[in-house]
Amino acid sequence: MIDTPGHVDFTGHVTRSLRAMDGAIVVVDSVEGVMTQTETVVRQGLEERVRPLLFINKIDRLIKELRLSPHEIQNRIIEIVKEFNALIELYGEGEFKKLWKVDISKGQVAFGSALGKWGLTVPMAQSKGLKFSDVLEAYNRGKEGVEELAKVAPLYEAILDMVIKHIPPPNVAQRYRVPKIWKGDAVSYTHLTLPTSDLV
């Protein structure tokens, strides 16, 4: 797993990191939404044919700062997903535009709070019987409620579930990524070998 900064000063680092990835999780603040630098990073990823998924972070801000209702939180998530998919439509290459747009119902979007250590996808919420009203209730109960929520819906579980189910394995991704990255002979990259001494 590679954690690459999204800040504009590290654009070169992001590009180099993307060349080692088959998929990426783009983190978006639930209050700030899709910002200019988010657009830049998504564009970079799509140019490198890296499959994007979405994590909408800081849902706790919608609850504690903006005091949104469960319905309003759902609408905010849908709005961010639409903005994210619009970037894929704008910058994605032909066949990937349709294939890589994220679908909430398929578990290609996670939402939660890194601070609170909890996260969910829609399929996970359904399997656990959790609703947004349950999340709000957890926050109403304070620290203890949030800690309990993190045990029931740990963030790592939501992220790992997305990665396993939706990031293509290397043997699949290499078929469309190598021609983008490798500018040499189309066959030669499969025959590259190291001298035996370099393997020890």
pLDDT in tens, the chain (200 residues): 666 665 656 666 677 777 788 999 999 999 999 998 889 889 999 999 999 999 999 999 999 999 999 999 999 999 999 999 999 999 999 889 999 999 999 999 999 999 999 999 999 999 999 999 999 999 999 999 999 999 999 999 999 999 999 999 988 988 888 877 777 776 665 555 445 444 44
Top-tier CATH class for 8-199: alpha beta
What's the predicted TM-score (pTM) here? 0.86
Q: How far is CA 92 from CA 14, 19, 47, 181, 187, in A?
A: 18, 16, 7, 16, 26
Bridge-based pairing of strands 51-57 and 118-120 is: unpaired
* Strand residue runs (E) in the chain: 23-29, 51-57, 109-113, 118-120
Please list, in sequence order, all residues whose beta carbon lies within 8 angstroms of the beta carbon of residue 130, skipping any fewer than 6 positions away: 120, 124, 152, 153
Domain segments of the chain as ranges:
8-199
Angstrom distance (rounded) from CA 146 to CA 79: 25
